[in-house]
Structure 1
Amino acid sequence: MPEIPLTPYARSLGIFVHGEEDGAPVLGFEFSSDVEGRPQHLHGGATSGLLETAGYALLRKELEQLGRAHRLKPINITAQFLSAGKQKTTYAKARIVKLGRRNANISVEAWQDNRERPIATAIMNILMAEPDA
């Protein structure tokens, strides 16, 4: 699996590449005080950061494989929190719903113990601008 570059923000959250499934990177982070919100629970911003990072990681990987160079600009990102994240490792994986010439729609899920019971999801709509735009 090629190395996936992580942003300074992602590294500050402790996000790491756990592996790859179906060609998509699976990212994760360990629970720590850096990602804690209310006592003993994940902060929603940290969870959102993991979801967003997983979405961008997959999109960048796909564009690179297609030989396409674009600047990625978020149109909108909607996170849905389904249950409180606990003091456990959290994982996220994205799926490209539609990849067009100018924009991409991505769905992302985050889970802890059971991937069939996600703790959060996100829908991302990303504008793919020309590199010099």
Structure 2
Amino acid sequence: MKLSEVVAAARATGNWTSLVDTIPYARFLNMSIDVKGDVFSCTLPFDQKLIGNPILPALHGGAIGGFMESTGLFYLLWHMDSSELPKTIDFSFDFLRSGRPENVYANVFMVKQGQRVAHLRIEAWQSSPDKPIATGHGNFMLKPAASSKGSP
């Protein structure tokens, strides 16, 4: 099945699991997408394979970073009318505290959307959205002439 068909089916049914399954790294992380009305969020369920420092224990920074970048890509697929996967131009992370061995959640904020580039801020958190464990800032290349579902 083509990505465009998977995205169309996810939009029609509201079930984004098949989209996650088409992206190997997202499938490896076992990510899930949760859309409730206009609120988009993702979850990274805890798995022992995600531990980077077994002494603390703490989640691996690469797993958290990859989760945040994937969250941004999935957000753009959900938010935009396009069914083509956006391309990451750059993505930077700020790790604020150690990720404990528990689920991680991410929220996305559209900073600016242009015709060809979108700039997003992603916050990853565990116990409370007010206490993020990491933030990410990314620029993503969009398909030219893509339109959005609405203003941020």
Which protein is richer in helix relative to its size? 2
1:43 to 60, 68, 71: 60
TM-score, L = length of structure 1: 0.85
- Aligned-partner Cα distance in 1 for 2:95–2:130: 15
Query: How far is the alpha carbon of 1:116 from its aligned partner?
Result: 0.1
Which residue of the partner structure matches residue 63 of structure 1? 80
Which residue of the partner structure matches residue 15 of structure 1? 31
Say how many residue pairs are matched: 127
Q: Give the secondary structure class of the aligned counterpart of 1:47.
A: helix
Which residue of the partner structure matches residue 119 of structure 2? 105
- The structure whose RCO (Cα within 8 Å, separation 6+) is larger is 1
Q: Any unmatched runs of 5+ in structure 1?
A: none
Cα pair distance change 1:71/1:111, threshold 3 Å: closer
* CA RMSD, 1 decimal: 2.0
Please tell me whether the aligned partners of residues 59 and 96 of structure 1 are also in contact (alpha carbons under 8 angstroms).
no
Q: Any unmatched runs of 5+ in structure 2?
A: 1-12, 145-152
- Please say which of residues 114-123 and 8-17 is displaced more in the overlay: 8-17
> Percent identity, aligned pairs only?
30
Q: Give the secondary structure class of the aligned counterpart of 1:45.
A: helix
TM-score, L = length of structure 2: 0.76
Q: Give the secondary structure class of the aligned counterpart of 1:31.
A: coil
User: 1:25-70, CA deviations, whole angstroms, 9 ceiling, x for partnerless residues?
Assistant: 2111222222110012100010011111111111111112xxx455
- Aligned-partner Cα distance in 2 for 1:37–1:109: 20
Cα pair distance change 1:71/1:27, threshold 3 Å: closer
Q: Give the secondary structure class of the aligned counterpart of 1:52.
A: helix
